Chain A
Amino acid sequence: MSGTAYAYALRGVVWREALRFLQQRERFLAALVRPLVWLFLFAAGFRAALGLSIIPPYETYITYDVYIAPGLVAMIQLFNGMQSSLSMVYDREMGSMRVLLTSPLPRWYLLLSRLTGGVFVSILQVYTFLAVAFLFGVDLPLWGVVTVFPALVLSGLMLGALGMLLSSTVKQLENFAGVMNFVIFPMFFASSALFPLWKIKESSVALYHVCAWNPFTHAVELIRFALYGEVNWGSLAIVAAAFMGFLVAAIWAYDPAKGLQPRGARG
């Protein structure tokens, strides 16, 4: 297959993912409502209760809604990564994954294309969320929507690869709810999405270390700095390394025959 064939395949997979997402209005709405509830209810309630000192990348005191906005952006990508892996399990059970995996391109490339499609969808959701946040007066730098883009791509790839790795290990669709509970909530809450790490350290050093090692914390920080036109190099390195690790493990663990054996044995 030529280079253009690879490009067409990537475009086709991304287009299909976007089309499916846009046609599932409930999914789009849920993806948008979840962070907005956090932003306008949770952040409003905690605005007075939480005092935030000046920490990079902020140059002045900020309100709590401004603080948690990057965390909610990362949360959108985390949920989308898991949703995307859930749809991979669904596609595997429904058979449409076979159409992808029996095309004449390397399996790693097809899985990477599928991952890219999920990232594209997550970025659509993030920009819709940011537009609503701006509309309701959350004080974020306008040019940040441009500078955050590369960070969104990398963090989306990392969280999508994690989801793909989980989908490789899940045997049936029914088992996925448990994985969601054991992955999404601990990852989100044990991170800097809702509270700065120094504040977590004040209450528990052990929890601080857990948060500091959580790759989701670094996705949040990468996005936070990028929204202000800065690069958090440490977070960038950790997110990039975690992406490569998750991706290699997901491709290695992906078994196209999964779910096939009962049918194969019957046929």
Chain B
Amino acid sequence: MTEMAPVSAKSDPKGKAPRPAPALSVQELSYSYGEKRALDRVGFDVLPGRFTGLLGPNGAGKTTLFALITRLLTPAGGRIEIAGRDLAGAGSAALAPLGIVFQQPTLDLDLTVRQNLAYFASLHGLAGAARERAIARELERMEMSARADEKVRVLNGGHRRRVEIARGLLHDPGVLILDEPTVGLDVASRAGLVAHVHALAREQNLAVLWATHLIDEIDGGDDIVVLHKGRVVERGKAREVVKRAGAGSLAQAFDGLTNESGEEAR
């Protein structure tokens, strides 16, 4: 993967070409469930062509962050920009360049793969030949063409996830966000999916935000944002984070960050 500046940097300090404009920008984002602070001034960027891992233990605020990015929740403070458009100002229209894969399966089990995709396409203004082309393209990309006319109910967990990713890419988004997409998958399916989405980011210049607590899903060259107790405790390129933490691996660095910062947050 190509080398690039840490996510927090505004331009390359060595005078190389400036980094591209972020496809997704989260700035000073806060949210509370009643008295409980779920997110506290969270900020990071996701760049085109980059796989950004959003790492955090359970309860870190990852799903809340996804709900805010997708407008299912309204932030108490801060700003979200998708492809340069402010989500608060532009409203639902700002979601157009966003592909979403939720943690919870959201396919209609009684419809076929093709029918599920056709329904989603219609919600994004695709119809007729354009819709059929997009469905064929994404099913082929996810190696699911042969299962197109089967009901989702008969597919295994890994194949359902592939269909959800195909659905998320159907309208050719610039940003793909996935909330713990490998939950419930076996080892082989998990590895296949991780590799596939890395390739998508690289080859399609797609900005990917991948939330997980499974460290082995992150490559050394990926950007990461470490979220703990609603705060960003570290961000940058994975191998640089490991170096800064003086750890032997990302898993060790992650453990150190989430334990120490957990004490600080208290």
| A12 in contact with B121 (CB, 8 Å) | yes
Mark out the residues of chain A between 77 and 130 whose CB falls within 8 Å of any chain B CB in the assembled complex. 94-96, 98-107, 110
* Among candidates B67, B121, B123, residue contacting A100 with C-beta atoms closer than 8 Å: B123
* Among candidates A12, A256, A260, residue contacting B119 with C-beta atoms closer than 8 Å: A12
For B119, what are the chain A residues with a Cβ–Cβ distance below 8 Å? 12-13, 15-16
B61 nearest CB across to chain A (Å)? 7
| B63 in contact with A12 (CB, 8 Å) | no
For A107, what are the chain B residues with a Cβ–Cβ distance below 8 Å? 92
Identity of the chain B residue whose Cβ is nearest the Cβ of A102 in the assembled complex? B70
CA distance A257 to B70 in the complex (A): 11
Identity of the chain A residue whose Cβ is nearest the Cβ of B73 in the assembled complex? A257
Asked if B111 is at the interface (CB within 8 A of a chain A CB), the reply is yes
| B93 in contact with A104 (CB, 8 Å) | yes
Interface size for chain A: under 10, 10 to 19, 20 to 34, or 35 or more residues?
A: 35 or more
Identity of the chain B residue whose Cβ is nearest the Cβ of A2 in the assembled complex? B125
Identity of the chain A residue whose Cβ is nearest the Cβ of B94 in the assembled complex? A104
CA distance A260 to B106 in the complex (A): 14
| B64 in contact with A264 (CB, 8 Å) | yes
Identity of the chain A residue whose Cβ is nearest the Cβ of B63 in the assembled complex? A267
| B110 in contact with A95 (CB, 8 Å) | no
Asked if B202 is at the interface (CB within 8 A of a chain A CB), the reply is no
Asked if A8 is at the interface (CB within 8 A of a chain B CB), the reply is yes
CA distance A211 to B118 in the complex (A): 44
Mark out the residues of chain A between 1 and 26 whose CB falls within 8 Å of any chain B CB in the assembled complex. 1-2, 4-5, 8-9, 11-13, 15-16, 19-20, 23-24
Identity of the chain B residue whose Cβ is nearest the Cβ of A99 in the assembled complex? B106
B39 nearest CB across to chain A (Å)? 10
| A266 in contact with B59 (CB, 8 Å) | yes
For B246, what are the chain A residues with a Cβ–Cβ distance below 8 Å? none
| A95 in contact with B102 (CB, 8 Å) | yes
For A98, what are the chain B residues with a Cβ–Cβ distance below 8 Å? 70, 72, 102, 104, 106
CA distance A94 to B109 in the complex (A): 10
One digit per residue, 1 when the CB lies within 8 angstroms of any chain A CB and 0 when it does not, for chain B 117-128 equals 011111111110
* Among candidates B38, B59, B72, residue contacting A101 with C-beta atoms closer than 8 Å: B72
Asked if A261 is at the interface (CB within 8 A of a chain B CB), the reply is yes
CA distance A16 to B116 in the complex (A): 9
Asked if B147 is at the interface (CB within 8 A of a chain A CB), the reply is no
A94 nearest CB across to chain B (Å)? 7
| A95 in contact with B59 (CB, 8 Å) | no
For B71, what are the chain A residues with a Cβ–Cβ distance below 8 Å? 101-102, 256
Instruction: Specify which of B67, B106, B122 lies most central, judged by the most chain A CB atoms within 10 Å of its CB.
Output: B122
CA distance A266 to B108 in the complex (A): 25
CA distance A15 to B119 in the complex (A): 8
| B123 in contact with A99 (CB, 8 Å) | yes
B165 nearest CB across to chain A (Å)? 14
Could you tell me which A residues sit within 8 Å of B by CB distance? Answer: 1-2, 4-5, 8-9, 11-13, 15-16, 19-20, 23-24, 94-96, 98-107, 110, 256-257, 260-261, 263-267
Could you tell me which B residues sit within 8 Å of A by CB distance? Answer: 33, 36, 38, 58-67, 70-73, 91-96, 98, 100, 102-108, 110-111, 115, 118-127, 179-180, 211
List the 10 closest A-B pairs by CB distance, nearest first.
Answer: A267-B63, A12-B122, A5-B125, A103-B123, A104-B96, A95-B106, A95-B104, A264-B64, A104-B95, A102-B70
Pairs across A and B, CB under 8 Å, 19 listed:
A4-B125, A4-B127, A12-B118, A13-B122, A13-B123, A16-B119, A23-B111, A95-B104, A96-B108, A98-B104, A104-B94, A104-B95, A105-B123, A256-B73, A263-B63, A263-B104, A264-B38, A266-B63, A267-B103
**Other CB < 8 Å A-B pairs besides A104-B96, A110-B123, 5 of them?**
A100-B123, A260-B73, A264-B67, A265-B59, A267-B180
